Structure 1
């Protein structure tokens, strides 16, 4: 091999070495270092093909950073929208309970007491987007702070979402005070009016949440007559 051929081979090896050195990282002095993976040989050791990590700059157009930001903003917006809808539809809202009117009052006379059966109606309004269970309805009747009747109804009704329902409430009242007995049974009096205070309490449950609601109703009741003929119990 002559000197010319040896010079060409040496120049070719220098060019190949310079080519692989270009892939090295630039140090603080502007020089290049060999690639730590292939050590400037241009060959990857066998078995390390799947262990290589490529570092790409964020400004590289192949990443399409404007699309990435758009996808992130869309994903965040959808998550916020879904969360807002869930909170809007499932957030517990208050129930409305209101008395309507007195429907009827039945009066029964016994030797020692006056018994009355009062039928009252009240409205339940469901403002939620889920069904509500209303139960444990209790009615207490007062006459001048004295309890003269108490009733309980275990299971009441189920209200569909965004609906209103009228519930019939029956209160049993027993008046055993001698003065009131004479007042209600007196035939010399044309009016036998009692001012009753009805306290209605009900428990509602929805979305693993329960609360107790109450309302008051005030009615004038004639303890001497009713809508039909008074029922007189026979004297024993």
Structure 2
């Protein structure tokens, strides 16, 4: 009976000793995990960081970190070469107001594109003949010919939001479908945005026609008008682009008194 009681007491003491050892092991493992979690990567003092946590964790089915070899530290020369992994649920991977910023960027880009297209889109350049500015007439009785020196005005309107340069003006004067005068004027006229300018050009014409000579010289005829057909081409350049604008005009010239009558265009 006494042996049975002593055996029972020894069994209880062994159980208490085993429970105490298990609690002590759990406390030491928790302390080691906390120490390893606060290990420094820049070479600072880490307190209890050592290889012991890694050995204990390896015994529980884990492996040693291949970078720090279980020390909790990395060499300073490898600080700029190693890559840190961020958890997928980290808030840094989910920036706020992303849709707002993307929408604002798209709207601003569309607005800038629309404004550029509006201001840079080519618009028409209006070329309107203004009529005769001055003239002089000479007669050749031996050849029954008439020499007309005309100075006409031309209005050019720039409807664009950028400067237009007028480089060349080519003029032809016709009388009864025959070319009686030509001239090419080279100029460097700059027309500002939404502005207009006036150009003057001179053409020397010679008419070899007996009927026209008689109309201009006979005193019995009260109306001394000569109908001229003027055709021209204006060469303009803007935004590295060259454009040719054509125009034409009909005008009556009084070949007796050097007076221009009402023209039609």
TM bracket, shorter-chain basis: 0.7 to 0.9
Of structures 1 and 2, the one scoring higher in RCO (CA 8 A, sep 6+) is 1
Root mean square deviation of aligned Cα? 3.6
Residue number in structure 1 paired with 2:72? 43
TM-score (norm 1): 0.74
Q: 1:104 to 1:132 in 2, by over 3 A?
A: same
Residues 253 and 259 in structure 2, CA contact (< 8 A), matched pair in contact too: no
Aligned with 1:41: secondary structure? Answer: coil
Between structures 1 and 2, the one with greater helix share: 2
Residue range with higher mean Cα deviation, 100-109 or 55-64: 55-64
Work out which of the residue numbers 117, 121, 134 in structure 2 matches 1:91.
121
**Secondary structure in structure 2 of the residue aligned to 1:66:** coil
Q: 1:151: how far off?
A: 1.5
Q: Does 1:176 align with 2:176?
A: no
Q: Find 2:152's aligned residue among 120, 125, 143.
A: 120
Query: Unpaired runs of 5+ in structure 2?
Result: 1-17, 38-60, 261-265
Alpha-carbon contact 1:138-1:202 (below 8 Å) kept: yes
Query: Larger Rg: 1 or 2?
Result: 2
Unaligned runs of 5+ in 1: 22-31, 229-236
Q: 2:244 aligns with which of 207, 212, 217?
A: 212
Aligned pairs for 1:66-85 within 5 A: 66-85=96-115
Q: Structure 2 vs 1, CA of residues 131 and 164 (structure 1 numbering), >3 Å: closer, same or farther?
A: same
Looking at structure 1, the residues matched to 234 and 162 of structure 2 have their Cα atoms a distance apart, in angstroms, of 18
Q: How many residues align?
A: 217
Q: Following TM superposition, by how much is the alpha carbon of 1:59 offset from its aligned partner in structure 2, in angstroms?
A: 5.5
Say if 1:77 and 1:20 are closer, same or farther in 2 by CA, change over 3 A.
farther
Q: What corresponds to 1:158 in structure 2?
A: 190
